[in-house]
Amino acid sequence: MDDVYDNCNGYVRLNNQLLEAICQLDISGRQFRILMAVIRKTIGYNIEVDWISASQLADLMAYDGATTHLHADLRILKERKIVITRGRKIGINKSLANWCFSKIETNQKPSLNKPKSVTHKETKNGQVSDRNPSVNKPNSVTPKQTENGQCSDRNRSEKVTENGHHKRQKDTKPKNTITPFNPPLEETNPQPSKKSKRRTPAKRTTTAPEHFPMTPELIRWASENFIRVDLIIETEKFLDHHRAKGSTFTCWASAWRNWMRNAQRFAAEKAMPPVPTTGPVKPNGIKPGGMDWDDTSWRHDLGL
Per-residue DSSP letters for the chain? --SS--GGG------HHHHHHHHT----HHHHHHHHHHHHHHGGGT-SEE---HHHHHHHHT--S-HHHHHHHHHHHHHTTSEEEETTEEEE-S-GGG---SPPPS-SPPPTTSPPPPPPEE-TTS-EE---TTSS-TT----EE-TTS-EE---S-EEE-TTS-EEE-SS---SS--PPP---HHHHSPPPPPPPPPPPPPPPPB---SS----HHHHHHHHHTT--S-HHHHHHHHHHHHHHHT--BS-HHHHHHHHHHHHHHHHHHHHSPPPP--SPPPTTSPPTT---TT--THHHHTT-
The last residue of one of the domains, among 66, 98, 130, is 98
What is the per-residue burial (b if ≥16 Cβ within 10 Å, else e) of 48-79? ebbebebeebbebeebeeeeeebeebbebbee
- Give the span between the Cα atoms of 176 and 236, in whole angstroms: 91
- Give the span between the Cα atoms of 294 and 42, in whole angstroms: 146
The last residue of one of the domains, among 38, 67, 98, is 98
- Which residues, including other chains, have CB under 8 Å from residue 239's CB and lie 6 or more apart? 208, 209, 212
Flag whether pLDDT at 125 surpasses 70: no
Handedness of CA 196, 198, 199, 201 (dihedral sign): positive
For 24-81, what is each residue's pLDDT tens digit? Answer: 999 999 999 999 999 999 998 999 999 999 899 999 999 998 989 999 999 999 999 9
Residue 171 lies in a domain: no
**Would you state the pLDDT for residue 129?**
53
11: confidence class by pLDDT, cuts 50, 70, 90:
confident
Residue 151 lies in a domain: no
**Would you state the pLDDT for residue 1?**
57
Residue 106 lies in a domain: no
Residue 220 lies in a domain: yes
What average pLDDT score do residues 278-287 get?
55
| Domain assignment of residue 63, given as a range | 9-98
pTM above 0.95, yes or no: no
Residue 281 lies in a domain: no
Number of domains present in the structure of the chain? 2
110: confidence class by pLDDT, cuts 50, 70, 90:
very low
**Would you state the pLDDT for residue 139?**
52
For 195-210, what is each residue's pLDDT tens digit? Answer: 556 777 777 888 888 8
- Give the span between the Cα atoms of 108 and 149, in whole angstroms: 33
Phi-psi region of 177 (alpha: psi -120 to 50; beta: other; left: phi over 0): beta
Encoded amino acid at 19, one letter = L
Instruction: Give the length of the chain.
Output: 304
- Give the span between the Cα atoms of 265 and 271, in whole angstroms: 10
What mean pLDDT value characterizes the chain?
Answer: 74
Q: 57 near 37, Cβ under 8 Å? A: yes
Strand, helix or coil for residue 69: helix
Flag whether pLDDT at 112 surpasses 70: no
Q: 41 near 12, Cβ under 8 Å? A: no
157: confidence class by pLDDT, cuts 50, 70, 90:
very low
Q: Which CATH number characterizes residue 62's domain?
A: 1.10.10.10
For 221-269, what is each residue's pLDDT tens digit? Answer: 988 888 888 888 888 898 899 889 888 988 988 988 998 899 888 888 8
The last residue of one of the domains, among 34, 64, 98, is 98
Residue 85 lies in a domain: yes
Q: 155 near 173, Cβ under 8 Å? A: no
What average pLDDT score do residues 101-108 get?
73
For 165-179, what is each residue's pLDDT tens digit? Answer: 555 555 555 555 566
Percent of the chain beyond pLDDT 90? 27
141: confidence class by pLDDT, cuts 50, 70, 90:
very low
Residue 83 lies in a domain: yes
**Would you state the pLDDT for residue 301?**
64
**Would you state the pLDDT for residue 27?**
93
Between residues 10 and 111, the one the model is more confident about: 10
Q: 230 near 270, Cβ under 8 Å? A: no
Residue 61 lies in a domain: yes
**Would you state the pLDDT for residue 204?**
84
